[in-house]
Amino acid sequence: MAVSLREYRARIRSTESMKKITRAMELIAASRIIKAQQRAQAAAPYARELTRAVSAVATFSNVDHPLTKEEEDPKRAAVLIVTSDRGLAGAYSSSVLKEAERLVERLRDEGKEVDLYISGRKGEAYFKFRNRPVVRAWTGFSDQPSYDVAAEIGAALIESFLKEQGEEGDVDEVHVVYTRFRSMLVQEPTAVRLLPLEVIEGEEAPSGSDVLPLYEFEPSPEAVLDGLLPQYVQSRIFFALLQAAASELAARQKAMKSATDNADELIKKYTRIANQARQAGITQEISEIVGGVNALADANAGSE
């Protein structure tokens, strides 16, 4: 019983140490989630209005721009998958990877080859372990993304998209898979097509409350779109990175809280078992002492 008691006490100490770590990680994630959520919310109106403006310009400019041109027979698609750099975030990375696998399977069913672009070490490790080629990967910023990183990713994707069909590294479509932050309890893996930009067919503005604005172009529609569309791609990628960062921190806080609660339960369980073992040891020692005393008394009585 003494050996068993020592084992349980050691387990209690190790579980308490683990609980301190998970509690600290929970508090760190909780302290960062507010700022990440604010950044994501602050970027949402800009991304939404820029998308609306680009759609209006592309629709009413009557310009056949490369970033809005639909290929008649698309052969290859690029998929940017936004995952995390670190683990201990529950099913955050696995959920977005499952969504990406569904998108890749759908694209291949449509007869398209897929080039993978990865953001985050978890996604990079996932495809490396399965010996699946990755065109390019970016790591080290998943919980605190910057616009410079988004601009770098956007430039790489635009460069591949603008290549002529048949040229090495060209793609006809660009998709992004990331986790949309809905609330502290809900983070939703989402796949969106980024390029070519979907425009509204027709030359007249749509009726209704959501009327797209009309524009006059200076110096020309082509020059405006040349400058505007790269900004659109980079801002959409930056918005996706911010949403993913907020989702990652929320998932990590939730996972670490669950781990801390589980550690509490384990400590209670091991403490109860250790107490039972200690009581059983004490009872056995008392029984042995009483038995020894009785045996000694019987021996003395017999000698008399």
Residue 294 lies in a domain: no
Structural domains in the chain (count): 1
Q: Is residue 262 part of a domain?
A: no
Residue 263 falls inside a structural domain? no
Please indicate, yes or no, if residue 71 is contained in any of the structural domains. Answer: yes
Judging by beta carbons within 10 Å of its beta carbon (0-12, 13-18, 19+), is residue 166 exposed, middle or buried? exposed
118 neighbors 127 (Cβ within 8 angstroms): yes
Examine residue 121 and state whether it is found in any structural domain, yes or no.
yes
d(CA 234, CA 157): 10
Q: Is residue 10 part of a domain?
A: no
Residue 177 counted as domain residue = yes
Structure token pair of residue 37: 């959520």
The answer to whether the CB of 149 falls within 8 A of the CB of 215 is: no
**pTM assigned to the model:** 0.80
Alpha carbons 205 and 56: distance in angstroms, whole number: 9
| Rama region for 122: left / alpha / beta (φ>0; ψ in -120 to 50; rest) | alpha
The token duo for 5 is: 């008691």
pLDDT in tens, the chain (304 residues): 445 778 888 888 999 999 999 999 989 888 888 888 888 888 888 888 887 777 777 776 666 777 777 777 888 999 999 999 988 888 899 999 999 999 999 999 999 999 999 999 999 999 999 999 999 999 999 888 999 999 999 999 998 988 877 777 788 899 999 999 988 888 999 999 988 876 544 444 444 445 555 667 777 777 777 788 888 889 999 999 999 999 999 999 999 999 999 999 999 988 888 888 788 778 888 887 887 777 777 777 766 6
Domain range for 161 is 21-200+208-257
Question: CATH number for the domain including 194?
Answer: 3.40.1380.10
Q: How far apart are CA 44 and CA 97, in angstroms?
A: 24
Residue 74 domain-assigned (yes or no):
yes
